[in-house]
Amino acid sequence: MALASLLLGIGAFVFMVLGFFTTMIPVVGSLFAFGAPILGLAGIVTGGVAMSRSKAETGESSGAAIAGLVTSIVGFLLSLVIALTCGLCNAAMTTSVAAAGSAAQNGGAAVAGGLGGAVQQLANEAGDRIVASSLVTRVHTACATDASGAGAASMIAPAALASLQGSICADVKPESAGLFSRGCGGGTPDCTVRVVTAQHAEADAIGALGLDASQCVTFTTPGEGTVMTMCQATPNDWRIATARNLGRVQ
């Protein structure tokens, strides 16, 4: 036990030195800094026991036990200073690094989610513009052979058929389809702005037709107001619900 006390005291010194030089290394510095006084304390206990046994057996203290006890006491006191300075500093730094890592991870997830949402929104808008252009093109084609609008009835929502069938052929021009393929970013002329109808004033008119505004998309032109709203009864079945100012498309 005297030898163990001496080795523990030396270990306390070694851990103390390593704790000092690894202060800036997260976790590692704390392990050495706080491990040193623990080793020193263990050396004091074993050294004390060794001295007691030596006195009981020989009547005097063992030199090895004294050396181990002294080494452990000095190691414990010095390492305690390192633990309360470098050790606490390292522990605080370790906590900060962990918090920063967590924040970075959460921030990365938020950025990824934001980018994914933006990409999805762009994809939805592109798809809606393709559908709108196709609807108007089909209406124009049908009206070329039947100006009454009867041929275009399949492109109109049943609830809006009475109000649109008689006027839609006169409003649609060959240029109308191109209007819906162009967004208004970058000062593009003859463009449309797409918005979900539930977030637009046109929602009242759609509601009056008995249609669900959340399943509709409205296109507007700057300064001209609503151009067209289309609604879907099923995922692949879009119909025109309102059409205004189509005749003004240049």
Query: Which positions ≥6 away from 138 have C-beta within 8 Å?
Result: 152, 155
Tokens 């839609």, located at residue = 168
Residue type, 112: A
From first to last of its 250 residues, the chain has per-residue pLDDT tens of 888 888 888 888 888 788 777 766 766 767 777 777 788 888 888 888 888 887 777 777 677 878 878 888 887 888 777 767 765 666 666 666 556 556 545 655 554 455 566 777 777 888 888 888 888 888 888 988 888 888 889 999 999 998 888 888 888 877 777 778 788 876 667 788 888 989 888 899 999 999 999 999 999 888 767 789 999 988 788 999 998 777 665 4
pLDDT of residue 102: 61
pLDDT of residue 240: 93
pLDDT of residue 39: 83
pLDDT of residue 90: 60
Rg (CA), the chain: 41
Tokens 């962990």, located at residue = 98
Question: Treating both helix axes as pointing N-terminal to C-terminal, what angle do 63-82 and 28-58 enclose, rounded to 10 degrees?
Answer: 160
Query: Which positions ≥6 away from 58 have C-beta within 8 Å?
Result: none
pLDDT of residue 112: 45
pTM score of the predicted model: 0.52
